[in-house]
């Protein structure tokens, strides 16, 4: 039982569980979550002070500032992976050292607002891309180092889960501050 507590702090919404055979209606519900991500992020951080952005969600974990900048970096990478999977035959998704990216100077020097604005614009583009895709296009695949070969259906679900996962981490910080 003790081992589960750190997991619940690190993974407040649990681990990713893909729905392998999504219906068109289920996919539409997932796609409609994309625009909500940046709106929810804005609402969560709205009342935080600049000092609170440097609060970690757990001991040894990222700060709110790092999480917000990570979301922008991750979602840019996800968008490019999707486009590559739509135009290439099962491309290998590029990996990046997110832990080291979080330590780069832009994570401290760039205003959080810049990453939120980037997410809003990127999510508009991503929404249009996936909304206009034909159902069969979601069966196209990409390969990752971590999970192997996955369909775009699963990549889309993972995209939403990843954002919800980090939003829940930020919410946990906010609830402990207030």
In-domain check, residue 7? no
CB atoms within 10 A of CB 68: 26
E strand intervals along the chain: 141-144, 148-151
Give the CA diameter of the chain.
49
CB atoms within 10 A of CB 51: 8
Are 177 and 48 within 8 A, CB to CB?
Answer: yes
Q: Which domain holds residue 71?
A: 24-177
| Dist. CA 120–CA 124, nearest whole Å | 6
CA angle, 35 then 131 then 125, to 5°: 55
Reduced to 3 states, what is the DSSP secondary structure of residue 33? coil
In-domain check, residue 10? no
In-domain check, residue 8? no
In-domain check, residue 59? yes
Residues of the chain with pLDDT under 70: 1-6, 8-9, 178
Domain count, the chain: 1
Q: Which two structure tokens, joined as six digits, stand for 150?
A: 């996955």
Are 37 and 119 within 8 A, CB to CB?
Answer: yes
Of the CA atoms within 13 Å of residue 170, those in its CB half-sphere come to 28
In-domain check, residue 12? no
Question: What is the distance between the terminal CA atoms of the chain, rounded to a whole angstrom?
Answer: 28
We report the CATH number of the domain holding residue 151 as 1.20.120.450
CB atoms within 10 A of CB 3: 6
In-domain check, residue 134? yes
pLDDT at 5 (0 to 100): 47
User: Measured in whole angstroms, how far is the alpha carbon of residue 157 from the centre of its chain?
Assistant: 10
Are 119 and 64 within 8 A, CB to CB?
Answer: no
In-domain check, residue 132? yes
In-domain check, residue 30? yes
| Dist. CA 99–CA 101, nearest whole Å | 6
């Amino acid at each position: 039982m003790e081992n589960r507590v750190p997991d619940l702090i690190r993974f407040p919404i649990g681990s990713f569980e893909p729905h392998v055979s999504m219906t068109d209606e289920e996919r539409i519900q997932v796609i409609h979550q994309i625009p909500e991500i940046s709106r929810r992020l804005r609402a969560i951080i709205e009342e935080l002070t600049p000092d609170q952005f440097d609060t970690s969600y757990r001991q040894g974990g990222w700060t709110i500032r790092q999480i917000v900048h990570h979301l922008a970096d991750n979602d840019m990478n996800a968008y490019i992976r999707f486009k590559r999977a739509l135009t290439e035959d099962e491309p290998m998704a590029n990996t990046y050292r997110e832990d080291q990216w979080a330590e780069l100077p832009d994570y401290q020097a760039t205003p959080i607002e810049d990453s939120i604005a980037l997410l809003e614009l990127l999510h508009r583009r991503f929404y249009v891309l996936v909304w206009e895709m034909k159902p069969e296009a979601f069966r196209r695949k990409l390969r990752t180092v971590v999970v192997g070969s996955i369909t775009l259906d699963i990549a889309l679900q993972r995209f939403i889960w990843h954002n919800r996962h980090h939003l829940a981490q930020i919410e946990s910080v906010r609830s402990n501050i207030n």
